Amino acid sequence: MEVKTKISIQKIFNDNVEKAVFKALELINAKKVMTKEGMTILIKPNILQAKPPERAVTTHPEVIRAVIHWVNQFNPAKIYVCDSSGGAERGITEKSMKVSGIFATCEEEGVECIPFEKTKTRVYHVKNPLELDHFASSSLIEEVDLIINVPKIKTHGQCLLTCCIKNMFGTILRINKPKTHAQFSTLERFCGALADIYSVSRPQLTVIDGYLCQEGAGPSKGDVVKLNLILAGFDGVALDSVVCKLIGINIDDVKYIKKAEKKGLGTTNLDHVEILGESIENVSRKFKLPFTTPISVPLPRFLSNFVGNTLFKASVKFNPKKCKLCSTCWTSCPVDAIKPPAIRRLGNVPSWNRKKCITCYCCAELCPHEAIDFKVDYLKNVFLSITELF
């Protein structure tokens, strides 16, 4: 008889997040991972940016509080809440932890909330790498007894979805994130690297924050959706696959999910999954997708040989009314495709180099003022693609 991986889906009623988290964990018998008293636990939320919880950019602090309360039932010796935020600004993770409300929650609960970059560093070697054979991260990944992944459901400009697997990109230390994007500049290779990174930590338990989510221009400037759901399970690949079905995304379009399955990290076959609690059909809600699809639209072979894939390359657009020239975009760009304006006193926006750009969307993802958009101008791109040949 086949043993199916268990995934629970629970509704949040009257904003009682803790009740939903406890019920979701009870249904999958999550206590089996708490093998002894005195364990050291690492909770890994999504703390992408310094945004308040109602903006739905970071894991909601009440979800973190509920997970802490659940863990405390088993008398742990130590609980850490750690992440490494995006951006080149020194101290950005601490700032993000405070603005998101997660730092205050941890203080109230007597839990240490610390950036990964402030812990001891060690180099991890990836077994059977698809792309990335080693990387530096926190020694806590190896030292703790249990890792609990607490991602948030959001659409993502580059990868289409960010949830379980993508959330562990946060174990890459702040200054190394742009280097990883530059090293694996195509979406295919970057998604392979994401699967490699996830394979090192491979969280033993995952609690998904589907309380406040983002659709559209996620993961930092999308529209907030109050989905009011908590999901829990042990298989991050299966959980990401369920989330895709839940919000109307084709699993095959989220390339890192299939990459992770290829590495043997879980299953995308929902016939091998037992859904407990709410059914997917009863709580599904189709999300607006980010404007990335045109970049991957295949061209006829004769045309792609002529103009390459740049025909559908999105152009970066800066909103002069929102842009504060804060430097986040140009200091965070992994390939130096964005530069500050030549004459700031004229109120210029940053300049963008189309040839250098790898459409990783880091600039828009990390812009604290939500001043960056992407646009595909087909006729202009045809012209530029052809002129670049000469």
**Domain limits at 332?**
293-387
Is pLDDT at 1 greater than 50 in this prediction? yes
Question: Are 147 and 246 part of one and the same domain?
Answer: yes
pLDDT at 241 (0 to 100): 98
Alpha-carbon span 278 to 232, nearest angstrom = 12
pTM (2 d.p.): 0.91
Find, among 33, 31, 32, 9, the residue nearest to 21 by Cα. Answer: 9
- Domain boundary (283, 307, 322) is at 283
What ranges make up the beta strands (E) of the chain?
5-11, 40-45, 78-83, 112-115, 121-125, 134-138, 146-150, 152-156, 160-162, 205-215, 223-233, 273-277, 315-318, 338-339, 351-352, 372-375
Question: Are 141 and 271 part of one and the same domain?
Answer: yes
Q: For the segment 37-58, what is each residue's pLDDT rounded down to a tens digit?
A: 999 999 999 999 999 999 999 9
Q: Give the CA count within 13 Å in the CB-facing half-sphere of 310.
A: 19
pLDDT at 297 (0 to 100): 45
Question: Are 157 and 304 part of one and the same domain?
Answer: no
Question: Are 236 and 140 part of one and the same domain?
Answer: yes
Tell me, what CATH number does 223's domain have? 3.40.50.11440
CA dist 305 to 300, 301, 310, 382, Å? 9, 6, 11, 13
Question: Are 132 and 245 part of one and the same domain?
Answer: yes
Runs of H (alpha helix) within 328-377 = 328-332, 362-366
Structural domain count, the chain: 2
Task: Flag whether 204 is in a domain.
Answer: yes
Contact (CB, 8 A) for 319 and 330: no
Tell me, what CATH number does 334's domain have? 3.30.70.20
Question: Are 278 and 299 part of one and the same domain?
Answer: no
Question: Are 16 and 102 part of one and the same domain?
Answer: yes
Question: Are 253 and 326 part of one and the same domain?
Answer: no
Output the average pLDDT for the chain: 90
Q: For the segment 287-341, what is each residue's pLDDT rounded down to a tens digit?
A: 999 875 444 444 454 554 444 444 456 788 899 999 999 999 999 999 999 999 8
Peptide bond into 219 cis (omega under 30): yes
Task: Flag whether 288 is in a domain.
Answer: no
SS3 323: coil
**Top-confidence range, 228-232, 332-336, 363-367, 382-386:** 228-232
**Average pLDDT of the residues in 184-199:** 96
Question: Are 145 and 96 part of one and the same domain?
Answer: yes
Contact (CB, 8 A) for 360 and 43: no
Question: Are 209 and 354 part of one and the same domain?
Answer: no
The string of DSSP letters for 16-37 reads -HHHHHHHHHHHTTGGGG--SS
pLDDT at 87 (0 to 100): 85
Question: Are 227 and 96 part of one and the same domain?
Answer: yes
